[in-house]
Structure 1
Amino acid sequence: MLNELADRVWRNPKFQSELSVLVANRVRRSAIGTPPLSEATDEGMVVRLLQSATILAQSAKRVHREGAYRIATAAFTLHGGEFGGLHDLLYVVLSRLGNFPAMKLSHGVVEPPGTLPFPVMLEAVHRLDGNTVCIRDGLPGIALTDFQREVWDALDHGVSLGASAPTSAGKSYLLQAFIRRIWAAPRRPRVAYVVPTRALINQVSAELAESFHGDGFDDVTIITVPLSAGQEIPIDAPFVMTQERLQLILTVHPEIAFDFVIVDEAQSVGDGSRGVILTAVLEEMLRRNPRMQLFFACPNVSNPDVFGRLFALKNYRHHHSRDVTVAQNLIHLDRSDSNPLRVDVSLNRMGRKLPLGRLRLMEEVTTIRQATVRLSHMLGQGGQSLVYASGPSECQNLAAGLARLERAKAELEGAPEASEQRVQLSTFVKEGVHPQFALGDAVLAGVGFHYGAMPPPVRRAVEDAFRDGDLKFLVSTSTLLHGLNLPARSLFLNRPRRSSTTPLGAVDFWNLAGRAGRLGKEFEGDVYLIDYDQWENRPLEGEREAKIRPTLDEHIRDRELVAYISDPERKPDIKGNDPFENTFTKLFSDHRAGRLGVALDRLGVPPGAEVRTRLAEALAGAEALVTLDEGVIRANPTVSVYRQQRLYEHLVKIIDREGPERLMPIHPFNRGAYYRLADIFKICHDQIFQWRSKDRRHLRAAVFSLPWMRGDPLSRIIDANFKFEVKRTPLYTMDQAILVTLKTIETEVRFTYVRLAGCYATLLRRALLDRGYLQVAEHIVPIPLFLEMGACSDTMISFIGLGLSRISSRELTRVARRFDLGPSEAKAWIRGRDLSELGISPIIRREVNRVLGNG
């Protein structure tokens, strides 16, 4: 009945006409700064629309509910103080939508106003009570959206759950609140929070730490880095890690099991080789605890049910929400071909452009970059804005352009010097990265930039400054697509690309658009599409939701996989990449353990399918060629078992011929460390990547890796790169040196060479044990750990292990003047000192306080 009534309202031409006028006027005023049209002053029209909204809000159709939300919020934004009863009508609409966070934004409280009619009051109280949950005794309840409440109830009943919802649905807030809830229980479960990037490790762990400290749990240690076999793991310590780090934990600590696991950005099971690792890690965790509860969080996917099948979860539900909790306005900014100073502005409404007006540029712009900078600056003055860039170099160039305009504007207005907060951030950036890093100057003008290869504490400091309002503009790359929570009023896009060769697709576009406006912060966000008709791709015309296709699913059905397994001499490409490598190693382990049939069942391969027989035969052939035990292979899931065998046999030959000394890693602080490290990398290149014997990339890798492991400041590593390269290429710039160094450390040193060194260390130990060098095997210097941490002193590693960044840990190690502190001693050292009296940067002190609750 209600759906039919809502359909009648929605199809009414006059309703649609008045709705267009209301929304257009809302966008005109707050998004482009032009006055509303006179029609919006008609109180009767506003009342009619709001009455319609109270009906649409009760419909089951997403388009009706979104329309109700837009009517209520636009009317409130434009006329909140003009028309009597508007607050009450807004409350009725939002309560029927179950959007209580938006209600708190509009009314300051979630309780219904006393001026509501009694029957409506009862309805509102009932809805509020149904959406309110208690985290722990003594704390006030929190009011959730309908989507959040449904997820909360499912988790509270112990079921595993897959949930898909728009970016701004508040999934992260909900999950952290639920962890706080279970943390208050008499028996704390062992929790793992799996995230796709290192940037998210820092964000999620810091937010959890703040929540725990706010609840009075100051003794909680959040584990974010791999722990060695000799390190004891606290029983109730939560883990926040990528799948690669979690895999290392599972390998080194075979006894550890988890009770509750959150997989953020869970669509990553389809992310190539990393998706295979994620799948293998979750399978191993379920083997250790079959009753483990899982939550898979995804933005905009059509099949969240896939996880139940992929992991054979018996008690599994999936929830799919498309409700709008924060609306996004899509605003076209089209430069005129006939007049280079004119910009036509229109609102995308139901696929059509609704004209809003025209803007006039102060000067002609001729390039894409100039258009992005000028229009972002012109229209981003009303609040904080995100500007999307397709890569680090573009990111830096756009930020530099915006900073120049902001400085010119400040000079014209006679604005004061940069604030103390901006000066502190600039100093921290220059000390933490390099004095000539462009970010250090940009933030003084209120402009930041953000990309994946930047050091985590610098990214976090920029994010904090943006959240605190110290930065007006933030230019960012696709790091925004990986769950990074950076709320902004506006988002600007101009021919966006996912990578240098791939335009941004529809699903990524809608994920990105959800960053404009965040739940509980704004009613709406504005997404500005600059010269959309010139984009290579048309994301508005594509599907909003993606279908998850697990990489293992794809590979199993690829006939090339059997050919790959059957060819022991298959080489990776010139960069060392090999798409089937992880899949082969996982299936080999499953075959050896007698689990291949179960694995194929989960992937939906029919019992009598030919691929089962062909895979089993190919894996049996591989088994005949590989002598390594299962523990070794499981420790190196990212390296082909053939290449592991090849490296093992090479190491055994050297040990038999020369003894083990030439193969043993040397501590980074000791003499000969560089040459030994280069030799190890060369062996890995030859035996794993199978590069030409004359290849010299191992020398470059060692040049970057050794000072990184020693804990040297980034500025020293960057300067060394610049001095070397400028001799070969006189036009080489410091900007290039900074970008190259940051990218090399993040993608090569901390990924490729952690992987290679880890495989080398595992196989060296196996070879030493097999050849009778038992004591020597127990004293292999942990190069993989040093490469991952960027540190090799006990003290600095202990600080990092507490959840602090490398930059902060390096500074604290310098002040402590000790290199032998263990984790508990390091924490005690911090607890026993007033860091403000030690000359420590305010930004580092903020990080310490956030992570450890130290004041």
Structure 2
Amino acid sequence: MSTFAAELSSRFVQNEKFRRALGHLQACGAASALPCSVVQPHGIPDQNAIGKMLYCASVFAQSGSELHISMAQTIAFNAMLISQESSVLERCATILTEIGNFPSLTYAEKRHSTKPSTLLGMIQRNIVEQLNTVEVAGSSITLTDYQRKVWDSLQEGRSLAISAPTSAGKSFLVIEHLCRDALALPHFVFVYIAPTRALLSEVHLKIKERLASDVTIRVTDIPTFEGVPRQIFVLTQERFKVLLSITSSPINFVVVDEAQNLSDGARGMILQDCIEQCYARDHKTHVVMLAPGAQGFANALESLGMPGIPEVSTTVSPVLQNRIVVSKTPALNQLEFKLLNAHGYSLIGTMPCKVGLDLVESKLAAVALELGSGGASLVYAKTPTEAASLAGSIALGLDDVADAGANELVEFIKGHIHHEYHLIGMVKKGVAFHYGQMPSLLREAIEAAFRAGIIKFLVCTTTLFQGINLPARNVFINTPAKGRGEKVMLDPALLWNFAGRAGRMGKDIVGNVFLIDYDAWSTQPMDTFYKFTIRSALSEFVTENATDVLTVLNKGKLDSRPGDERSRNATASAGMLVNKARQGDVTDYLIRVAPALDYFEFRDIQEAANRASEELLLPQHVIEGNWTLDLFALDRLMAHLVERLNDGTLDSVVPKSPSDLGRAAFSHYQEIFNILFRYIKGFDKNFGGYVARIAVKWMEGKPYPFILSYEIRSEKLRITKKRNQENLNLMADSNYRVKRIAEADPSKVIKKAFDTIEDVVRFQLVQMGKAYNDILIHIFNDNGLAHKVPEIFDFALALELGVSTNTGRAFLELGLSRIAASELQKLIPNSDLDISSARQKLLSFDPSPHKLSSVILAEIDKVRSTIAPVDTAVSG
């Protein structure tokens, strides 16, 4: 780093002429990256002007300041976009070499055939490249300077906090580091924590593919501990909590992806508890935390009891991401483009439109259609319903796409979701929508189709804001809000994270973030870069809502609806403090996690937690494994089950496998679910009846078409009954005003079923079901009935996975989705395969006699390549 270069760079940045020249260069570069013809108010800079900017960039590159390095890269990228002169391209390549952005440099060299023309240039290029090159799975990969710094830090084997923009390639390095250790060590337990099922699936597959050469390493996303020496778990924090409750083994290496989720309410508290447990079991546990542009690691790690962990961070993205404000020109049917940069706006130009833009409701779809033809496009929608509607609007503006890949995806949706699902018509036109409650294989098939270019427009909710590797050329955003209405604002850092999807390191140097009518937004979060602030959700809630925590600890009622975020956070905070009180260290724990509490709040919470821990009859292991639920409610549930033991009716509500019950499975689980909802949630109605209708079929591994067709028929029958009742009312009273009852909408029924499966069956019932079984096990053991414990079916795990046989579970562990595992288990004449036997069946499986969709066949092939040694891998 040069002090002179840093001082000179600061002078450049403050110079008004430089700012104007930079704004002009950026605007021209942005115009050249637009997929349309833009009328620019000023011509592009001449070679002399570009030369001056490149001189400034060469100075910035030597400064060492991230701000200056970012500006050097911005100048080089924009110069490459607007000039094809060999001398300009070579100077740009030299600048990218100096700042160590080799992925973009390699892309530029391939596209423009640019090579250093001097011996000195070639020597510099080769030396710096060699310094940044590492071997990954037998191939040489050249890293950016930041990636190299992260890589070197990982090799030291210490815990680490890593922060960088979305496209910086940090998770790739951590996964490679984890896999190298796995291949080298004789015994270990590694855990990779991913906050969403979508990210979990992606990471799980990457690790399995990387470790395909060693089948002795267990790689699983199922929280069951096996007696093998080498295990890697890819889990959500909820699944990790379950794993920790069933084993006392130390965890050698923990990766926390999207670590900003420490701030995410009750889920953040679970994440904190899991990390604390690992560290308490073994202070040598290697913890690596990843976050996309974050601050506050030091304070968060203090709260976790892990001070002093080094941080490797950068704010420089390796690709150019243009923030382009798009608005309609008053009185003219044309779009105006302005580039949003550090100093305000730079006018890019205008473009006449082929379609009308006057309606606010259709403007986002219209703009996406006008500007999204130049590459893959992600479009933000606030809710799943809005995502489907917006995707439908975009599809209306397109002709059918004659694409074999689209036809394959359509057939998959018809065969494995439902033939009436409205997504089908959109896929035919290269459009899809994406949200968290969709089935995982459908979501992954859509993502794969988007990466392959089969899906051109993907409308998504915040599910894609975190972690998933799904870059695009264009990102469209027209609001800073989330959910219904415009009152609840997205965290600006989350919006920046989504904008970071624009551009693909190594495959492009530029991406466009289109901000529709940005000046009319209620807030302008894209003006300046926002980092995530990492903080402990537990610390924050206990400190700022001490009264709510005290209310729960004192068995009181909050003035909020049960189940809302405030209620969940208060319940979880209180539960954790009761857990610590039972362990005898609530005082020290409060001092660590809530040092800002005043004396009186500290004393009251401490006393209430100790009092609650003494009053509760729940055993400590039940509290420890289920503190996110209302512990007083669990205490009442345990009393009810003890009462049933005493009156001889407990056996009827001991969970059994659906396959053992036949038709009685529905009534069996209806009763169990109603008990759970009544005692834990406070619901008195027969909600368990509706849920059991879906949940039992889900546990049995029934395919989506079976479940969804039943729900659609039930809805049609319900509507027919209501109409018949209206006719009876009219016959009884000729003056009766008949209510209009709409036809059943299959897509709405499908969405409701998806929501029920993901939010109720696979989340709420899984949590409550685990607690229910834990309490049953305690009651049996406490009453001399330990022999009955094996009779308890683990319905919580069956609900989570969507299969109830060992064969289905084994196929899931090998990496198949539930849809594929459910289809395959029906073809295997053994429902009790272990992992080893299931692997052999899968490797030797001949699909030719069976009618399986191309999507499932492709998945089977992909999984087979990850479970066989490389030299004997079976191809499809």
By how many angstroms is 1:186 displaced? 4.3
Deviation at 1:333, TM superposition (A): 1.3
Deviations 1:65-85 (A, max 9, x none): 2221122112222223xx233
Equivalent residue number for residue 237 of structure 1: 231
Equivalent residue letter for 2:24: V
Aligned partner of 1:102 among 101, 104, 115? 104
Shift of 1:219: 4.7
Give the residue type in structure 1 aligned to 2:128.
Answer: R
Deviation at 1:88, TM superposition (A): 2.6
Contact 1:326 1:523 survives alignment (8 Å): yes
Residue in 2 that maps onto 1:712: 702
State the shift of 1:569 in Å. Answer: 5.0
Mapped pair 1:344 → 2:336: yes
Contact 1:685 1:698 survives alignment (8 Å): yes
Amino-acid identity (%): 29
2:455 aligned residue (466, 471, 477) = 471
Where does 1:536-685 land on structure 2 (aligned, <5 Å)?
Answer: 536-541=522-527, 544-557=530-543, 558-568=545-555, 570=557, 573-575=561-563, 578-603=568-593, 605=595, 609-669=599-659, 670=661, 671-685=663-677
| Corresponding residue number in structure 2 for 1:323 | 316
Cα distance, 1:520 vs structure 2:
1.6
Structure 1 unpaired stretches of 5+: 411-416
Does the CA-based 8 Å contact 1:112-1:124 persist in structure 2? Answer: no
Deviates more, 1:798-807 or 1:632-641: 632-641
2:772 is the alignment partner of 1:760: yes
Q: Which amino acid aligns with 1:249?
A: L
- Within the candidate set 214, 218, 221, 2:218 is matched to 221
| Equivalence for 1:205 | 204
Q: Is the 8 Å Cα contact of residues 579 and 613 (structure 2) preserved in structure 1?
A: no
Tell me the equivalent position of 1:89: 91
> Is the 2:60–2:68 Cα contact (8 Å) retained in structure 1?
yes
TM-score in terms of structure 1 length: 0.93
Is the counterpart of residue 790 in structure 1 residue 802 in structure 2? Answer: yes
Residue 284 of structure 1 pairs with residue 277 of structure 2: yes
The residue that corresponds to 1:394 in the other structure is 386
Residue 160 (1) aligns with residue 159 (2): yes
Which of 783, 786, 792 does residue 774 from structure 1 map onto? Answer: 786
Secondary structure in 2 matching 1:73 = helix
* 1:655 counterpart letter in structure 2: L
Match of 2:377 in 1: 385
Post-superposition Cα deviations, 1:453-507, rounded to whole Å, max 9, x if no partner, equal 1101111111111112222111111112121211100101112432225233421
Determine if the alignment matches structure 1 residue 443 to structure 2 residue 427.
yes
Instruction: Identify the residue that residue 413 of structure 1 maps to in structure 2.
Output: none
Instruction: Please list the CA deviations of residues 16-69 of structure 1 after superposition, one character each: whole Å capped at 9, or x if unmatched.
Output: 333233222222122152268674362222222222211112223333222211
Partner of 2:62: 58
In structure 2, how many angstroms separate the alpha carbons of the residues matched to 1:66 and 1:167? 15
Partner of 2:293: 300
The 1:99–1:225 alpha-carbon spacing in structure 2 relative to 1, beyond 3 Å, is: same
Aligned-residue offset at 1:555: 2.6
Alpha carbons of structure 1 residues 86 and 739: separation in structure 2 relative to 1, 3 Å: same
Q: CA deviation at 1:523?
A: 1.0
The 3 A distance-change label for structure 1 pair 315 and 833 is same
Q: Distance in 2 between matches of 1:113 and 1:556?
A: 59
Whichever residue aligns with residue 34 of structure 2, its letter is A
Equivalent residues in 2 for 1:744-755, closer than 5 Å: 744-755=756-767
Q: Sort the Cα spacing of 1:110 and 1:62 in 2 relative to 1 into closer, same or farther, 3 A.
A: farther
Task: Give the drift of 1:655.
Answer: 0.8
Alignment partner, residue 354 of structure 1: 346
1:26 aligns with 2:29: yes
Matches within 5 A, 1:403-552: 403-407=395-399, 418-500=402-484, 501-541=487-527, 544-552=530-538
Q: 1:233 to 1:464 in 2, by over 3 A?
A: farther
Read off the aligned partner of 2:155 and give its amino acid letter.
D
CA distance 1:498–1:657, change in 2 (3 Å): same
Residue type matched to 2:770 in 1?
G
Aligned equivalent of 2:363, options 353, 366, 371: 371
State the Cα distance separating 1:3 from its structure 2 match. Answer: 0.7
1:636: how far off? 1.5
Distance 1:159 1:542 in 2: 33
Instruction: Report SS of the residue matched to 1:313.
Output: coil
Q: Quick check: 2:420–2:746 contact (8 Å CA) kept in 1?
A: yes
CA contact under 8 A between 2:298 and 2:308: conserved in structure 1? Answer: no
- Which stretch has the larger CA shift, 625-634 or 562-571? 562-571
In 1, the alpha carbon distance for the partners of 2:67 and 2:28 equals 20
Q: Is the CA contact (8 Å cut-off) linking 1:504 and 1:539 kept in structure 2?
A: no
Q: Deviations over 1:220-258 (max 9, x none)?
A: 43110122xxx624322211110111111111223x322
Query: For structure 1, which segment, 34-43 or 520-529, has the greater mean C-alpha deviation from structure 2 after superposition?
Result: 34-43
Q: Is the 8 A contact 2:107 2:508 kept in 1?
A: yes
Q: What letter corresponds to residue 443 of structure 1 in structure 2?
A: V
Q: Which moved more, 1:566-575 or 1:585-594?
A: 566-575
Which residue, out of 862, 865, 868, partners 1:850? 862
2:267 is aligned, of 269, 274, 285, to 274
Q: CA offsets per residue over residues 196-220 of structure 1, 9 Å max, x none?
A: 011111111112222223xx33554
- Distance of 2:392 and 2:788 partners within structure 1: 54
Structure-2 change in CA distance of 1:63 and 1:607 (3 Å): closer
- For 2:504 and 2:571, how far apart are their aligned partners in 1? 40
Q: Which moved more, 1:571-580 or 1:660-669?
A: 571-580
- Alignment counterpart, residue 853 of structure 2, candidates 822, 825, 841: 841
Identify the match of residue 243 of structure 2 among 249, 252, 263: 249
**Aligned mates of 2:808, 2:602 — CA distance in 1:** 50
SS at match of 2:437: coil
> In the TM superposition, what is the alpha-carbon distance from 1:833 to its structure 2 partner?
2.1
Q: Cα deviations across residues 602-645 of structure 1 (Å, max 9, x unaligned)?
A: 32527994444323311221122112221122221322222221
* One-letter amino acid matched to 1:174: L
Distance across 2 between alignment mates of 1:259 and 1:512: 32
Partner of 2:150: 151
Answer yes or no: is the 8 Å Cα contact 2:292–2:532 preserved in 1: no
The alpha-carbon distance between structure 1 residues 406 and 704, as it changes in their structure 2 partners (threshold 3 A), is: same
- Runs of at least 5 residues in structure 2 that lack an aligned partner in the other structure: 720-740, 866-873
Q: Which amino acid aligns with 1:835?
A: P
Cα distance in 2, alignment partners of residues 575 and 379 from structure 1: 42
Please give the per-residue CA displacement for 1:279-317, whole angstroms capped at 9, x wherever unaligned. Answer: 111111112221001111112222122343122225611
User: 2:476 aligns to what SS in structure 1?
Assistant: strand
Distance 1:828 1:724 in 2: 41
Write the distance in 2 (CA, Å) between the matches of 1:211 and 1:701.
39
Stretch deviating more after TM superposition (501-510 or 91-100): 501-510
Distance 2:417 2:467 in 1: 25
Partner of 1:42: 46
1:570 & 1:353 partners in 2: Cα distance? 51
Residues 535 and 480 from structure 1, CA distance in 2 versus in 1: closer, same or farther, beyond 3 angstroms?
same
Report if the CA contact (8 A) 1:304-1:320 is conserved: no
Number of residue pairs matched by the alignment? 833
The verdict on how the C-alpha distance between 1:514 and 1:233 changes in structure 2, with shifts beyond 3 A counting, is: farther
- Give 1:3's aligned residue: 6
CA distance in 1, matches of 2:103, 2:294: 24
CA deviation after TM superposition for structure 1 residue 125, in Å: 4.2
